[in-house]
Amino acid sequence: MAGASIKEMDPEHGVAYVREAPIEALPPPASERGALGWLRANFFATPLDAALSVVLLLLLAWIVPPLLDFLLFNAVWTGKDREACLVGPDRPEVGACWAFVRDRFAYFIYGSYPVAERWRVDIFFAMLAIGIVWLLKLNAPRRDLGAFYFFVIVPIVSYILLNGSEMLGLRRVDTAVWGGMLVTIVVAWVGIVVSLPAGILLALGRRSRMPAVKLFSVIFIEFVRGVPLITVLFMASVMLPLFVPEQWSPDKLLRALVGIALFASAYMAEVVRAGLQAIPKGQYEGAMAVGLSYSQMMRLIILPQALRVTIPNIVNSYIALFKDTTLVFIVGIFDFLKAIEAARIDPIWSTPVTSTTGYAFAAIVYFILCYLMSAYAKNMEARLAVADKR
Amino acid sequence: MDQKVIAGAPPTTSSGDLAVEIVGMHKWFGEFHVLRDINLTVRRGERIVVCGPSGSGKSTMIRCINRLEEHQKGRIIVDGIELTSDLKRIDEIRREVGMVFQHFNLFPHLTVLENCTLAPIWVRKMPREEAEKTAMHFLTRVKIPEQAHKYPGQLSGGQQQRVAIARALCMHPKIMLFDEPTSALDPEMVKEVLDTMVQLAEDGMTMLVVTHEMGFARQVAHRVVFMDAGQIVEVNRPDEFFAHPKHERTKLFLSQILH
């Protein structure tokens, strides 16, 4: 403000300072603009930054080319059996054996579900996809109907569809032959569908003024959270049959589903509780003062706000749950990972690269599904940030 | 603000028709004795301003009237119904008692109109159309009908507080409680809220107002209640209260706030 001080000193004017013309906005200096400015700001801002950038670049140069070689350039795309993926005179180096994945793809998706009945699984996937899109698209019409469809209709219809029903002329398919992505999706979806309502009830129970309800919620949440999922699954599949008579003993998959649902509910309860705690006391008072009952207050005022702020955390627990479903193979259930596991030791496709290919495929599939969920959560967070500025 | 006192003598004692009756009420927060032997009756149509230093228990007292706080001893009778832990009675009383808070407590996820129609629809079981008509009527009265479809976060503090008043009025309450309604507002918004409250007073609403706005008290109140340390220290007509305070504590308080 050199100009200002000069004028300030000027004895003739006698005023402190008056601006006579506004200052026009100027573009930033050249070093701040363009690709060069961007590089400088993001990669070479300080000597430490520059060093880190160089190290990372070297690391990428070391990892990426061989990875691409394996996954793409040296990969085998077609073939009928292991011969296609063996090192031979015309093929000095063999990358991923995608021929194996293509050959076994149906098995990865359906497990041993009878081939003639697989259309039922396809319908199940389609129904689920419709429900997910309906619920997740914020401007979709009648999302309340969508919730009813997703949480009530789809479970009932898909139970009948997948399990079979003599009455409707659908052949019974024992859960023992279910497998692959079908089982992974069923387990994850049951966990997701059960854990949100159950978690909300447990969270409300934990904040309840009724001592019995509160005690039950706290004991349940803390007990389940204090035990590893594997233990819960073992409990569900080994201990449960001890308590109920043999002919009543539920199906193996069902037992695992119960275990996963209990586990996910306890975690969801804590996520929802965090959301409830973020709601200021004034909201409760405002709701009570206009005469709303407890359930109306929760349903209309508190939960809508609490769940909105927790959506990213809810999706986060869904991602964790989705990956945790792989643990069901420990109690002998054929999920997606287990299907790959079984296929890779099949002698027909036994080559040095089969296992690596199978695991790479599993990693890619899990990554894509989890990334979709986290991308949605991120998008949701951005929308909420905009909504909060209103 | 013009200091014209609202016409209308306080309702006569003979009517015997009491809106609120508090008898020998005590309250403790843990070991701390916040309210001590409170006795106060409010007649229908009467307007009472409660003032006193912070921490004197004035907010707690009016929050006891719609059971946002629970009293431990004594009786509170609102509109002929005694407050007990019976949830049905509490709901009944809350339907008849409107409340306006210092921090508005509007529901941020609902529009202004939805804020106003929520309770009539869910508590009074009013059809949506009728509730919206009522809401627009009161939003017009508080002079913000054009904001009906905005969210509370888009309004200024003064506008939000006027919405809060409209929201309470939509339940057609018999009694209105105001808990420091202007304390959280920017100075230039205080007047619009006070004007709304004066208008409400002119319509004959029974009002209990906790406030530091002494001009408002002078203009609107039938009686001024002064509280200190959890006790009612002095109750008087506003002209007497301001001109000739009796109690030492009242004199000190007034000398500090009326420079």
Query: And the tokens for A281?
Result: 């006391």
Report the residue from B105, B119, B167 with minimal CB separation from A282: B105
- Beta partners for B40? B22
Find, in chain B, the residue whose alpha carbon is nearest to that of A305: B109
Q: What percent of chain A has pLDDT over 90?
A: 38
In chain B, residues with a C-beta closer than 8 Å to the C-beta of A290 are 94, 98, 118-119, 123, 167-168, 171
One-character DSSP codes across A269-297: HHHHHHHHHTS-HHHHHHHHHTT--HHHI
**How many CB atoms neighbour CB B21 within 10 A?**
17
Number of residues that make up chain B? 259
B118 — contact with chain A (CB < 8 Å)? yes
- Beta partners for B178? B100, B209
Whether B168 sits inside 8 A of A286 (CB atoms) is no
Count Cβ–Cβ pairs < 8 Å, chain A vs chain B.
61
Q: Render pLDDT for B84-126 as a digit per residue (tens, 0 to 9).
A: 888 888 988 999 999 999 999 999 989 999 999 999 999 999 9
B231 — contact with chain A (CB < 8 Å)? no
Whether A286 sits inside 8 A of B107 (CB atoms) is yes
Report the residue from B104, B109, B123 with minimal CB separation from A291: B123
In chain B, residues with a C-beta closer than 8 Å to the C-beta of A388 are 153
In a 3-state reduction of DSSP, which class is residue A107? helix
Backbone angles phi, psi at A332, to 5 degrees: 80, 30
Cα gap A64→A282, rounded to integer Å: 55
Report the residue from B101, B123, B154 with minimal CB separation from A286: B101
CA distance B111 to chain A (A): 11
Residue A287: predicted pLDDT: 94
Residue A9 pLDDT > 70: no
CB A296 within 8 Å of CB A264: no
In chain A, residues with a C-beta closer than 8 Å to the C-beta of B59 are none
Residue A2: predicted pLDDT: 46
Whether A296 sits inside 8 A of B107 (CB atoms) is no
Q: Render pLDDT for A217-262 as a digit per residue (tens, 0 to 9).
A: 999 999 998 999 898 888 878 877 777 776 766 788 888 898 899 9
CB A265 within 8 Å of CB A202: yes
Average pLDDT, chain B: 89
Q: Render pLDDT for A162-204 as a digit per residue (tens, 0 to 9).
A: 888 878 878 888 888 888 999 999 999 999 889 999 999 999 9
Task: Supply the pTM of this predicted model.
Answer: 0.80
Map out the domains of chain A with their CATH numbers: 174-333 (1.10.3720.10)
Whether B123 sits inside 8 A of A296 (CB atoms) is yes
Q: Render pLDDT for A310-324 as a digit per residue (tens, 0 to 9).
A: 888 898 899 999 998
Query: And the tokens for B241?
Result: 């209260």
What is the amino acid identity at position A95?
G
In chain A, residues with a C-beta closer than 8 Å to the C-beta of B123 are 290-293, 296
Cα gap A110→A320, rounded to integer Å: 23
B29 — contact with chain A (CB < 8 Å)? no
Number of residues that make up chain A? 390
Query: Which stretches of chain A sit within 8 Å of chain B by CB?
Result: 282-283, 285-293, 296, 300-301, 304-305, 308, 388-390
Q: What is the ipTM of this complex?
A: 0.90
CB A282 within 8 Å of CB B101: yes
In a 3-state reduction of DSSP, which class is residue A97? strand
Residue B2: predicted pLDDT: 47
Disruptive mutation site among A284, A285, A290, A299 for chain B (greatest number of B CBs within 10 Å): A290
What residues have CB less than 8 Å from A214, skipping those under 6 apart?
A205, A206, A207, A208
Residue A127: predicted pLDDT: 93
Whether B167 sits inside 8 A of A290 (CB atoms) is yes
Disruptive mutation site among B68, B105, B123 for chain A (greatest number of A CBs within 10 Å): B105
CB B220 within 8 Å of CB B213: no
Find, in chain A, the residue whose alpha carbon is nearest to that of B95: A291
